[in-house]
């Protein structure tokens, strides 16, 4: 076959070789010998083949053009952006800017927070006894102590971190405990301390949760859960050394190193056993919180346990009402937790053996723990067994205010023995006259006794019935019938006491 020739299946050339003269097609003799230049079927096949080739070339050219336009557009984009490297650099800077904004948002407004159970983490006597000024001073001292801790003992907490403090307590109940312990003469002093603490620092609050089982505990735990995952909160100081009950909530976070490093347990009284076993860091701010338990002065040497009002409205320790009563089993508090969430001072059954061991002796004790001054001492009672104390002198506001301002120790002068000794914040070195002793006794009677009308302590100095005059506007029995009404510190059952003595209990 000659070079340059193209053949179909019949092996006939499509065209003659270059330079070869074109010869007319051969004439075949068919159809009875008639002339026919070409075979028709072969001719149509050749035409169809040419047409298909043209479509294939057209499709190829179109595809090439599409690809060219696409690549040309991309080239123009890269050229205008300075190339792919520059575009990638721009995208990197964009993401870095976004990351920086997030980091800035997380790093701004850092703070640390103190969560304190004020029912057991009690401020030092010197602060409390000063009223509002003491509250302001306590807030300032606590704020300064935390500042120094952040500055000297931590590296991850920014120096500009703000300090937030939330103290939760039953203010009225705690005030009554402090009055009975001789730390303050009147509940209003502690109320003023609370106000001063809240006013002392803008972000400091002393929050009154009122009476009720575990109200302070629940608020502290829920607030703790709120702050533990807050990125702005850099440290949580948890004031709970007196109460094993908080161990349950803290155990939920003890297996995460990030949580453990974020929590510091504050120490007031020594840590309870279950809290010591936790992996959290501990811190003590000396001179701010009490390091020892409060003492109930009605029984020297006994601590005041946390107590609950399970049967409100009934006289405490009165045999006909309390026989066979079994309190509900709540979360077990530690023995050093104070008497706050279960006030008012009416019925206060203790909830566990540890608290009972730390509590004052029961009413049925035949002998009190002190030695009587006289050979025979008596507790007078009315016909239904309620205690009837000898009357006090008449109320004289001028004299009462004067004696209160003198800051005399009620327990020292009226019981001849103060359990605080040289550590007492009230005056011992004074020689009061008989009139001043009488006024001092009147002042002490203004605070209700924890044992109510069932008290058997012959030397008890507190009130066993409301001393306020009866109100003309509310003469109904079964209510607080005095002029103070519902705001009276004495419970309902210590109003309208029958003062006719029909029997006495002799203490020998």
**427 three-class SS:** strand
Contacts of 215 (CB under 8 A, 6+ apart): 168, 170, 209, 341
Residue predicted with more confidence, 165 or 159: 165
Under 8 Å between Cβ of 409 and 428? yes
**Mean of the per-residue pLDDT values for the chain?**
75
Under 8 Å between Cβ of 270 and 263? no
Instruction: Output the six-digit token pair for 71.
Output: 């690549």
Q: How confident is the model at residue 159 (pLDDT cuts 50, 70, 90)?
A: confident
Secondary structure E strands in 226-364: 233-239, 263-267, 281-284
| Mean per-residue pLDDT, 267-281 | 90
Give the count of beta carbons closer than 10 Å to the beta carbon of residue 225: 12
Q: How confident is the model at residue 24 (pLDDT cuts 50, 70, 90)?
A: low
- Tokens 């029961």 locate to 362
Instruction: Output the six-digit token pair for 158.
Output: 């920014």
Q: What span, in angstroms and rounded, lies between the C-alpha atoms of 125 and 15?
A: 124
pLDDT digits (tens, 9 = 90+) for 435-452: 889 898 998 888 888 888
Q: What span, in angstroms and rounded, lies between the C-alpha atoms of 335 and 306?
A: 7
pLDDT digits (tens, 9 = 90+) for 448-477: 888 888 888 888 889 898 888 888 776 666
Under 8 Å between Cβ of 415 and 173? no
| Predicted confidence (pLDDT) at residue 157 exceeds the cutoff of 50 | yes
| Predicted confidence (pLDDT) at residue 422 exceeds the cutoff of 80 | no
| Mean per-residue pLDDT, 184-191 | 92
Which residue pairs from 280-287 have beta carbons closer than 8 angstroms and sit at least 24 positions apart in sequence?
Answer: 280/238, 280/250, 280/254, 283/149, 283/237, 285/141, 285/142, 285/145, 285/146, 287/124, 287/141
Output the CA angle 355-357-363, nearest 5 degrees: 95
Q: How confident is the model at residue 353 (pLDDT cuts 50, 70, 90)?
A: very low
Residue predicted with more confidence, 23 or 378: 378
Under 8 Å between Cβ of 242 and 260? no
Under 8 Å between Cβ of 156 and 108? no
Query: What angle in degrees, to the nearest 10, is found between the helix axes of 187-200 and 171-180?
Result: 130
Q: What span, in angstroms and rounded, lies between the C-alpha atoms of 241 and 236?
A: 14
Domains in the chain: boundaries: 109-360, 368-508
pLDDT digits (tens, 9 = 90+) for 290-315: 998 876 554 444 444 443 332 333 33
- Which pLDDT score is estimated for 138? 96
**392 three-class SS:** coil
Q: How confident is the model at residue 5 (pLDDT cuts 50, 70, 90)?
A: very low
| Mean per-residue pLDDT, 16-45 | 57
- Tokens 């029958």 locate to 498
| Predicted confidence (pLDDT) at residue 241 exceeds the cutoff of 50 | yes
Q: What span, in angstroms and rounded, lies between the C-alpha atoms of 188 and 195?
A: 11
| Predicted confidence (pLDDT) at residue 504 exceeds the cutoff of 70 | no
- Tokens 């969430």 locate to 341
Q: What is the pTM of this model?
A: 0.47
Q: What span, in angstroms and rounded, lies between the C-alpha atoms of 85 and 78?
A: 9
| Mean per-residue pLDDT, 236-241 | 92
Contacts of 202 (CB under 8 A, 6+ apart): none
pLDDT digits (tens, 9 = 90+) for 97-121: 777 766 666 678 899 999 999 988 9
């Amino acid at each position: 076959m000659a070079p340059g020739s193209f053949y179909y299946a019949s092996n006939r050339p499509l065209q003659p070789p270059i330079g070869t003269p074109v010869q007319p097609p051969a004439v075949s003799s068919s159809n009875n010998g008639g002339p026919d230049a070409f075979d028709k079927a072969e001719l149509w096949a050749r035409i169809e083949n040419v047409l298909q080739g043209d479509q294939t070339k057209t499709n190829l050219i179109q595809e090439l053009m599409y690809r060219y336009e696409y690549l040309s557009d991309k080239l123009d984009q890269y050229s205008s952006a300075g190339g792919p490297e520059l575009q990638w650099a721009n995208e990197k800077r964009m993401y870095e800017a976004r990351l920086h904004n997030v980091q800035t948002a997380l790093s701004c407004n850092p703070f640390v927070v103190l969560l304190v159970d004020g029912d057991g983490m009690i401020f030092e006597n010197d602060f409390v006894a000063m009223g509002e000024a003491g509250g302001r001073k306590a807030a300032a001292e606590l704020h300064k102590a935390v500042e120094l801790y952040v500055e000297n003992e931590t590296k991850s907490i920014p120096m500009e971190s703000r300090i937030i403090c939330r103290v939760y307590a039953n203010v009225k109940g705690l005030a009554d405990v402090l009055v009975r312990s001789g730390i303050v003469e009147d509940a209003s002093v502690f109320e003023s301390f609370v106000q001063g603490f809240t006013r002392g620092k803008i972000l400091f609050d002393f929050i009154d949760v009122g009476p009720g089982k575990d109200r302070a505990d629940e608020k502290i735990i829920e607030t703790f859960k709120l702050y533990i995952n807050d990125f702005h909160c850099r440290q949580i100081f948890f004031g709970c050394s007196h109460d094993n009950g908080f161990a349950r909530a803290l155990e939920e976070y003890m297996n995460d190193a990030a949580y453990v490093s974020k929590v510091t347990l504050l120490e007031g009284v020594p840590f309870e056993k279950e809290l010591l076993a936790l992996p959290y860091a501990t811190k003590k701010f000396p001179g701010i919180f009490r390091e020892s338990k409060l003492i109930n002065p009605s029984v020297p040497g006994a601590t005041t346990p946390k107590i609950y009002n399970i049967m409100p409205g009934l006289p405490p320790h009165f045999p006909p009402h309390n026989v066979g009563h079994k309190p509900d089993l709540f979360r077990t508090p530690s023995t050093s937790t104070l008497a706050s969430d279960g006030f008012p001072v009416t019925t206060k059954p203790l909830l566990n053996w540890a608290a009972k061991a730390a509590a004052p002796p029961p009413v049925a004790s035949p002998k009190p723990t002190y030695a009587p001054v006289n050979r025979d001492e008596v507790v007078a009672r009315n016909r239904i067994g309620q205690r009837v104390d000898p009357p006090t002198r008449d109320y004289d506001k001028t004299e009462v205010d004067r004696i209160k301002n003198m800051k005399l120790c009620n327990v020292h002068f009226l019981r001849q023995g103060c359990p605080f000794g040289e550590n007492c914040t009230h005056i011992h070195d004074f020689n009061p006259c008989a009139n001043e002793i009488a006024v001092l006794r009147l002042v002490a009677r203004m605070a209700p006794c924890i044992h109510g009308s069932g008290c058997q302590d012959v030397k008890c100095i507190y009130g066993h019935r409301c001393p306020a005059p009866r109100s003309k506007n509310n003469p109904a029995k079964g209510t607080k019938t005095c002029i103070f009404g519902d705001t009276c510190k004495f419970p309902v059952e210590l109003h309208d006491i029958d003062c006719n003595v029909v029997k006495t209990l002799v203490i020998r």
